[in-house]
Amino acid sequence: MTTDTLSDPANPLRDPRDRRLPRIAGPCGVVIFGVTGDLARKKLMPAVYDLANRGLLPPGFSLVGFARRDWADQDFAKIVHDAVMEHSRTPFREEVWRQLAQGFRFVPGDFSDDVAFGQLRDTIEELDRERGTAGNHAFYLSIPPRFFPDVIGQLKEHGLAEMQAGSWRRVVVEKPFGHDLASAQELNAIVSEVFPPESVFRIDHYLGKETVQNILALRFANQLFEPIWNSNYVDHVQITMAEDIGIGGRAGYYDGIGAARDVIQNHLLQLMALISMEEPVSFEARSLRIEKQKILTSVRHPARLDLHTARGQYTSGWAGGEKVKGFLDEDDIPRTSKTETFAAIKLEIDTRRWAGVPFYLRHGKRLGRRVTEVAVVFKRAPHLPFTQTATEELGENALVIRVQPDEGVTVRFGSKVPGTAMEIRDVNMDFAYGGAFVESSPEAYERLILDVLLGDPPLFPQHEEVELSWRILDPILDYWAAEDTKPQAYEAGTWGPESAEEMLARDGRTWRRP
């Protein structure tokens, strides 16, 4: 992570003590497949600009677009320009644009088009000559997974994946990494046939978020929390990711995938791993991965999946003051769809630290509000020297890590109500991360793209983790598929179906209202 490991130790201008010098990637370029997609326009292109604006991209950085459009380089530049103007976080500056714009290239073509990939190879070679990208290129696959075999195969066939000595080729793939264990393994087989594991970067943008990284700081940099971070004190953990929007324009992708595959498999299980893992021996990618894998390996399912999982589908209703459509009324969703838009599952972790502590994970669309948080709920005090009436309003202590929006940490505990009588009530102690940052705090994609260019992998899940996550989710998905019923309906704008409430009520608990 420090500058000394990244650069030639012989470089006299580098010094590990010099912590002002930012990490600038070496000469390189990025090729984006699927530049016309939402992700590319809203996230990738603005992130590239923001990185350049902050002086973190190397001189000569080049961006190549590949899509089935009849565009020239200038047309592509125009698209990037518009995307940057609309979505970048840092102010637009002409000189930054000029630095970037000279490195834009566009290659029109189909994923099965040999001529186009030949042209791509020529373009990359030309960039190496003209812009000094030195043979270092990352291929960003911002495309549906069904096209992966084509693209990866073409990259191999045209020699684009071959690394010359002293240069690198990397491939970046977005979630979902498959739709079950078998497909994930298949996908991995395709990618790993062409690229070695350390050259494959699976982007889970959640892991690039400051708050998620802060979980590690909170847990391992403090003495305060570690002693209570176990089953002696923790009653249960709730991990919630709620969205207030519906599926919008993602109907084609979403139908058949559903909430569990879309979010629980990656984001929520990763959050769970970070919250529950043991202390890694160091913050190197390998050590972090080992600890996460240990946790994912020791996850146990509840014996009765019917009682401890829930799924739902939103119906039309009023959400946030607007009348919204139900899932089955959304465009391009068949009326008979059994895809769930809400999923909640209970998991247990068979380790000494967590034995008997349930982890409740839930995710849904069109819920009450947009929020992602991890709530560690503590046991009640074993003995209360107060009367029953004094503690009637006292709940359980909780430590809540708010991931988005309004990033921060909340601690919830009992406090005396001012007055002569002894009465105890819950209060919140709040810590808020700074809201709009001056310059430093990078957006998740910026951080991740920079890490790809630097070849720094701590935040990227490797295929073992992905496969372990599927091993956890597959039995539940299979059970739901075997049940072959429609998910329970819930009205848009509420906190999910009744079965989710019942699922916790069985354990004598309730969901937090986030």
Active site (catalytic) residues: 267
Nearest approach, Cβ of 435 to another protein (angstroms)?
6
**Smallest distance from another protein to CB 511, Å:** 24
Q: Interface with another protein includes 222 (CB under 8 A)?
A: no
Instruction: Pick the binder of another protein from 147, 378, 433, 479 (CB under 8 A).
Output: 433
Q: Is 50 left (phi over 0), alpha (psi -120 to 50) or beta?
A: alpha
* DSSP letter (8 states) at residue 48: H
* Residues 172-201 interacting with another protein (rule: CB under 8 A): none
The token duo for 45 is: 């292109």
Name the residue nearer to another protein (CB basis): 20 or 352.
20
Which residue, chain included where needed, has tokens 């290659």? 107
What's the rounded Cα separation, in Å, for the pair 380 and 383? 8
Q: Does 510 bind another protein (CB under 8 A)?
A: no
DSSP 3-state assignment of 321? Answer: coil
Burial class (CB in 10 A: 0-12, 13-18, 19+), 315: middle
Quick one: which of 68, 78, 93, 286 contacts another protein (CB under 8 A)? 93
Side-chain half-sphere of 303: how many Cα atoms within 13 Å? 0
| Distance in angstroms (rounded) separating the CA atoms of residues 445 and 163 | 25
Q: Which residues in 21-80 contact another protein (CB under 8 A)?
A: 21-22, 24, 26-27, 52-53, 55, 58-60
Q: Which CB, 99 or 230, lies closer to another protein?
A: 99
Are 117 and 155 in contact, with CB atoms under 8 Å apart? yes
Q: Which is nearer to another protein, 77 or 324 (CB)?
A: 77
Tokens of 125: 């070679």
Compute the least distance from the CB of residue 23 to another protein, in Å: 9
Cα(482)–Cα(306) distance, integer angstroms: 11
For residue 56, the minimal CB distance to another protein (Å) is 9
What is the per-residue binding string for another protein in 434-473, x denoting contact by CB under 8 A? xxxxxxxx--------------------------------
Min dist. Cβ of residue 246 to another protein (A): 32
Q: How many residues bind another protein (CB under 8 A)?
A: 50
Q: Binding to another protein by residue 162, rule CB under 8 A?
A: no
Q: Is 132 in the site for another protein (CB under 8 A)?
A: yes
Structural contact between residues 356 and 300, judged by C-beta atoms closer than 8 angstroms: no
Does 380 bind another protein (CB under 8 A)? Our answer is no
Q: Which residues of 49-68 are buried (b: 16+ CB within 10 A; e: fewer)?
A: bbbbbbebbbebbbbbbbbe
223 is a contact residue toward another protein (CB under 8 A):
no
Examine residue 165 and tell whether it contacts another protein (CB under 8 A). Answer: no
Tokens of 356: 């008997």
Give dist(CA 12, CA 26) in Å, integer: 17
Q: In angstroms, rounded to a whole number, what is the distance separating the alpha carbons of residues 462 and 202?
A: 7
CB 308 within 8 Å of CB 299: no
CA-based end-to-end distance of the chain: 35
Span from 97-105, 269-277, 335-343, 366-374 in contact with another protein (CB under 8 A): 97-105
User: Could you give the C-alpha distances from 20 to 16, 23, 247, 300, 476, in angstroms and in order?
Assistant: 10, 9, 43, 45, 48
Q: Name the residue nearer to another protein (CB basis): 77 or 473.
A: 77
Q: Quick check: 131 binds another protein (CB under 8 A)?
A: yes
Of the candidate residues 125, 430, 478, 502, the single one contacting another protein (CB under 8 A): 430
Distance between CA 26 and CA 75 in Å, rounded? 28
Please, which residue, 225 or 431, has the CB nearer to another protein? 431
Least gap, CB of 102 to another protein (angstroms): 7
CA distance linking residue 15 with residue 30, whole number of Å: 28
User: Cβ of residue 201: shortest distance to another protein, in angstroms?
Assistant: 21
Does 405 engage in binding with another protein (CB under 8 A)? no
Shorter beta-carbon distance to another protein: residue 12 or 419: 12
Cβ nearer to another protein, comparing 225 with 437: 437
Looking at residue 460, the DSSP 8-state letter turns out to be S
User: By C-beta, is 18 or 332 nearer to another protein?
Assistant: 18
Query: Please, what is the angle between helix 444-454 and helix 45-53, to 10°?
Result: 80
Among 4, 14, 36, 471, binds another protein (CB under 8 A): 14
Q: Is 387 in the site for another protein (CB under 8 A)?
A: no
Q: Which residues of this chain interact with another protein, rule CB under 8 A?
A: 3, 7-8, 10-15, 17-22, 24, 26-27, 52-53, 55, 58-60, 93-96, 98-99, 102, 129-132, 134, 408, 429-441
